[in-house]
Amino acid sequence: MIRRILLALGGTPFSEVALRRAIELAKLHDAQITAVPIVDSDYWKASIYRTNLSATAAVRLLETRPWELAEQRVRQIITDFEHQCECQEIPHTVLEPGGDPIHMLITQSRQHDLVIFGLRGLFDFTVVPDPAGTVARLVREGVSPMIAAAPTYRDIRRVLIAYSGSTASANAMKQFIQMALWPDATIHITCFDKDDPQATSHLKEALAYCHAHGLNPTTSHERGPEPEGICSYVQENGIDLVVMGDSFEHLLIRGVLGDTAMDVLRKIERPLFLSH
């Protein structure tokens, strides 16, 4: 059950999908939505020199001013957001931009049940000066759970939970099960890159937890490495949403969003339920 959704709008095409997802879940759960604009020209211009960008990259950003186009898109999608919420009688609030928009997102997340964000849009479009640092900051500050919107909208009918037996992956699974975001979706739990006895034990634990909540998911043990295995499994089995816990945390914090993490975000092309 959720009652308060925090929607981050960064002025990218992913924001349109994130908006549609927020509207869908608000209607399904009788929830209210708070929208946070993630682009603030004055703040980002001043923050360029506080990031780890090179001087050349900073000058190029100041010359091209990509945040101005993003701001225009944010204004348009905020208008769309308000119109859709009013038409469908969804309680909603739009926070005024000012100062550090990521700090606002972090602060507001503490009073909301779920954050919906076009996460990949931070990298494919210049919304913030340091996308990798921004995402790592969200993780360090405990912004969780998040739904990272995919490039295109799709109905959620089949869910994959990537379960390793770790505390982080267990927490992600439990949060997803307890929230019951899509109660009619079928669930499959997969353990990647573990030996047979260990995988069998982990899957038995996960299955018992789901049974206690009245769910009867299917399970499997995939022997390939996790990032590549997730991408392959999703494509081959028609998965609509992936639940990730420790894999997300390890890739983002320890790898500071390296190439492997971006491969997952780009190749998977599915929404991700991210918890840590």
Tell me: the pLDDT tens digits for 40-77?
666 666 666 666 666 776 666 666 666 677 778 888 99
More confident residue, 141 or 92: 92
In angstroms, rounded to a whole number, what is the distance separating the alpha carbons of residues 42 and 19? Answer: 25
Task: Output the pLDDT for position 258.
Answer: 43
Length of the chain: 276
Question: Apex CA 154: angle with CA 150 and CA 155, to 5°?
Answer: 135
Torsion of CA 84, 87, 91, 95, to 10 degrees: 40
Pick the CATH number of 158-274 from 3.40.50.620, 1.10.150.120, 3.40.50.300, 2.60.40.1180: 3.40.50.620
Task: Output the pLDDT for position 262.
Answer: 54
User: What does the block give as tokens for 167?
Assistant: 């505390």
Task: Output the pLDDT for position 255.
Answer: 44
Q: 37-41, 51-55, 91-95, 99-103: which has the highest mean pLDDT?
A: 91-95
Task: Output the pLDDT for position 5.
Answer: 99
When the pLDDT of each residue in the chain is averaged and rounded to a whole number, the result is 83
Fold match flag (4-148 vs 158-274): yes
Looking at the domain that runs over 4-148, which CATH code has it been given?
3.40.50.620
pTM of the model: 0.86
Query: Where along the chain do its domains lie?
Result: 4-148, 158-274
Question: Which residue stretches of the chain are H helix?
Answer: 13-29, 41-47, 55-64, 66-87, 101-109, 121-124, 131-140, 167-179, 196-212, 226-237, 246-249, 259-268
Give the tens place of pLDDT for each residue, 226-267.
Answer: 667 888 899 899 999 999 885 554 555 444 344 445 556 667
